[in-house]
């Protein structure tokens, strides 16, 4: 059974930083691209970033480019999202998600339970 467990969310001041983690199990982690998708309170879904299985290719939404960095440690079956220069509009539940198929980045088919990031002074 695929399991994705996010952690690292919390309350941070504008301009601050957080690092989210997503511990994966139940599948060959290095074979699958992974993504981060977020959802602001009461709002819709927003794709944030994705990374290939090897980690050699990364992709970012314009809204986070230059501020967020996605990475993975395949030896630890863990996905990361380093979030810098945080803004109020980054407040959201952040989900990690696994690609549906080997070799594809999208769509995603398995999701974690989400971790909440709140940016406020």
Partner 1 sequence: AIRITQSPSSLSASTGDRVTITCRASQGISSYLAWYQQKPGKAPKLLIYAASTLQSGAPSRFSGSGSGTDFTLTISCLQSEDFATYYCQQYYSYPTFGQGTKLEIK
* Residue 11, token pair as written in the block: 């309350």
- Tell the smallest beta-carbon distance from residue 15 to partner 1 (Å): 26
Which is closer to partner 1, CB of 8 or CB of 114? 114
Burial 107-118 (b: 16+ CB within 10 A, else e): ebebebebbebe
Which residues from 53-112 bind partner 1, rule CB under 8 A? 59, 61-62, 95, 97, 100, 105-109, 111-112
Q: Rule CB under 8 A: choose which of 46, 74, 84, 118 binds partner 1.
A: 46
**Residue 27 engages partner 1 in binding (rule: CB under 8 A):** no
Q: Residue 31: left if φ>0, alpha if ψ -120 to 50, beta else—which one?
A: alpha
- Tell the smallest beta-carbon distance from residue 119 to partner 1 (Å): 21
DSSP letter assigned to residue 105: -
Report the sign of the C-alpha dihedral through residues 121, 116, 74, 107, in that order.
negative
Q: Rule CB under 8 A: which residues touch partner 1?
A: 35, 37, 44-47, 50, 59, 61-62, 95, 97, 100, 105-109, 111-114
């Amino acid at each position: 059974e695929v399991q994705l467990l996010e952690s690292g969310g919390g309350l941070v001041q504008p301009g601050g930083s957080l690092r989210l983690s997503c511990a994966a199990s139940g599948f060959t982690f290095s074979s699958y691209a992974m993504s981060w998708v977020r959802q602001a309170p009461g709002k819709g879904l927003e794709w944030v970033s994705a990374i290939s299985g090897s980690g050699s290719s990364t992709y970012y939404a314009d809204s986070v480019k230059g501020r967020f960095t996605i990475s993975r440690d395949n030896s630890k079956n863990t996905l990361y999202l380093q979030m810098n220069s945080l803004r109020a509009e980054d407040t959201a539940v952040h989900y990690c998600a696994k690609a549906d198929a080997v070799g594809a980045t999208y769509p995603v088919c398995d999701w974690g339970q989400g971790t909440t990031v709140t940016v406020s002074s």
